[in-house]
Structure 1
């Protein structure tokens, strides 16, 4: 399995970040290649299914995903359910010293709802490119599935970075340079 992790800090309340990330249809606003996310069934919790329509070059493809688990306000697990072995999660880590009982790190009882201390948000993706089904795409004549994979896989890193960066800017309500920490365990991306 190849792995990609993109993490950064966001100046927002962890519960707000979690609720924001649970809204999968919003992701199309942040991606260059994701055209639409349609809710097939569910309310965002475990078992919720989505149809994600991607368009790149002369190819359009609709992936199917499912939310497989949630741990509010810290984790949302998902997997692709058709054509490729892939999945991942969003992790939200509260600021150090943040207490779940509403007491802030300063002991005053004021939780950090103003976003003075950042929480960490991470998008973690694992996938096996070798599991991709060549029958999943209707390719133009004389275009091989291997060529498409070779060109498309490196785009995954750029897309993940773009989604995290734009989501942070939306959460914070302003544009800033978002410092991303990127971990890649793959020689393909």
Structure 2
């Protein structure tokens, strides 16, 4: 399994951050390639299913995902339920109280809230992707599509986290991201 983790600090209450992240349909606002997230069934908790429509180049694809577990306000687990072995979670970790008081940077002025750490963790196996899932243009191989699309995952994850932070904090700032990649493909 390949793995990607994008984490950063958010100056907002962890409960508000968790509720914000639980609203999967809003994710289309943060991604260049995610066009729509439609709730198929559920209220955001375990068992909630979503249809995520992606578009890139001349290809459109609707992935199916499911929330597999929640631990408010700390964690939301999800998995892709067809065509690829993939899943992940959002983690929200409150800051230690002594860390917040030592911060004298301009970022500390962004909010009255102490920072919390937010992490998007994604695990996936590109080799498990089903070539039958896409209606490809003539003379375009599935392997070519994977080779071009998989590296976009890192950029998309970073963009989603950065844009979500801006909405959570209510203002624009440079967001420092800690990115961990365990993959030769991204």
Give the TM-score normalised by the residue count of structure 1: 0.91
Structure 1 residue 97: Cα displacement: 3.5
SS of 1:44's partner is: coil
The alignment status of 1:188 with 2:179, answered yes or no, reads: no
The alignment yields a C-alpha RMSD, in angstroms, of 1.4
- State how many pairs are aligned: 176
The alignment status of 1:58 with 2:85, answered yes or no, reads: no
1:136-151 → structure 2 map (5 Å cutoff) = 136-151=133-148
Unmatched tracts of structure 2, length 5 or more:
102-110
- Give runs of ≥4 in structure 1 deviating > 6 Å: none
Structure 1 residue 115: Cα displacement: 4.2
Which structure shows the higher helix fraction? 2
Unmatched tracts of structure 1, length 5 or more:
99-104, 106-113
The one of 159, 165, 171 aligned to 1:174: 171
Indicate the residue corresponding to 1:21 in structure 2.
21
Deviation string for 1:77-126 (max 9, x for gaps)? 0000000000000000011139xxxxxx9xxxxxxxx6432000000000
> d(CA) in 2 for partners of 1:76 and 1:115?
25
Indicate the residue corresponding to 1:45 in structure 2.
45
8 Å Cα contact 2:13/2:113 also seen in 1: no
> d(CA) in 2 for partners of 1:36 and 1:82?
17
